[in-house]
Amino acid sequence: MSHPDLNLLIALDALLSEGSVAAAARRLNLSPSATSRALARLRETTGDPLLVQAGRRLVPTPRALELRETVGALVEDAQTMLRPQENLDLGRIERDFTLRTSDGFVENYGPALIARLGADAPGLRLRFVLRQGADNSGLRNGHIDLETGVVNASMGPEFRTQALFRDRFVGAMRADSAVAEDIASAKGYAMRRHVDIARHVAGCEHPHAPIDDALALLGLRRNVAVIVGGFSSVLALARETDLVATVPDRHTANLRHGLNTFELPFPSPQVTVSMLWHPRLENDPLHRWVRQCLKETCARTV
């Protein structure tokens, strides 16, 4: 019985990730001709063209899309298995670590996380970038080390996740605006003019927020007058206008200083904020340590 050449899995992973023979060759440190021969052998082995020409670029076949996540995980697991265990010397680390978060996360959890990491690893340079949309390519290509957010169906199945905290929604208004009687009911709340954030999930510009789903069960719909890019802008407008903001409680605690926060007049839906990372970093000692620090920071910070 003949055994398949398992080196082809590494070539397949590079080809499907890069979508280009030339780019895959650079990643594999091979010549383009050698990479083309590997692609030919893969096509013969799988009985599928895998990558086909579309104009000036190669596009994956349905079979290639089916294989892409599986082969990537296999290669990462194999590399992890064969990689020698490192002894983590936090005091000598000189490294950048990129954490992608949504608006408001840095204001609430950043100071405590910076203090926690800096105490043991002063050479670790923490870089926060704002999460916008549902594109997780940064995690796949290594530009992002770790991400926080609400896990949804648009995120690839290959990512590792761990819950950080549960959050609920509250209302916020200008400090000198009393929470009038007309907002004490779900109907009155829905009728007031609201400011909301734009959402980019699964290619949809403004999908329903959890609050809107909860109101829909009551046959109600919010009167959203203004849409902005993030929680900071939502609360800035609520602070200076008569607009009502509805935001996650823990996530925006520091941003709501000076605002009149009130309980919603109907059951508030909850969301779970998690951290996400690519499986190639699963067993990286520094990455594991940062994940543990982030989990501890979120558990302590309210």
Are the C-beta atoms of residues 172 and 194 closer than 8 Å to each other?
Answer: no
Q: What is the pLDDT of residue 302?
A: 60
d(CA 124, CA 272): 28
Q: How many Cα neighbours within 13 Å face the side chain of 261?
A: 15
* C-alpha distances out from residue 174 to 49, 110, 228, 236, 244, Å: 61, 26, 17, 9, 8
What whole-number distance in Å separates Cα of residue 143 and Cα of residue 100?
10
Report phi then psi at 69, rounded to 5: -70, -35
The answer to whether the beta carbons of residues 39 and 23 sit under 8 Å apart is no
Predicted local distance difference test score (pLDDT) of residue 104: 86
Q: Which residues of 178-216 are buried (b: 16+ CB within 10 A; e: fewer)?
A: ebeeebeebeebbebebbbbeeebeeeeeeebbbbebbe
Query: Which pLDDT does position 69 carry in this prediction?
Result: 74
The contacts of residue 112 (CB under 8 Å, 6+ apart) are 297, 300, 301
CB 6 within 8 A of CB 79: no
CA distances from 192 to 94, 171, 199, 207, 225 (A): 52, 12, 21, 20, 9
- pLDDT for 206 equals 39
What distance in Å separates the CA atoms of residue 297 and residue 283, rounded to the nearest whole number? 21
Phi, psi of 254 (to 5 degrees): -70, -25
pLDDT tens for the 302 residues of the chain, in order: 467 788 888 998 888 888 889 988 998 889 999 999 999 999 998 899 999 988 778 888 999 888 887 888 888 777 766 766 567 889 999 999 999 998 889 989 999 999 999 999 999 999 999 887 667 778 888 889 999 988 876 666 778 999 999 999 999 999 876 555 568 899 999 999 999 988 753 333 334 578 999 999 999 999 999 999 889 999 999 999 999 999 999 999 989 998 999 999 999 888 999 999 998 898 889 999 999 999 999 988 66
Distances (CA, A) of 173 to 9, 115, 170, 241: 56, 32, 10, 8
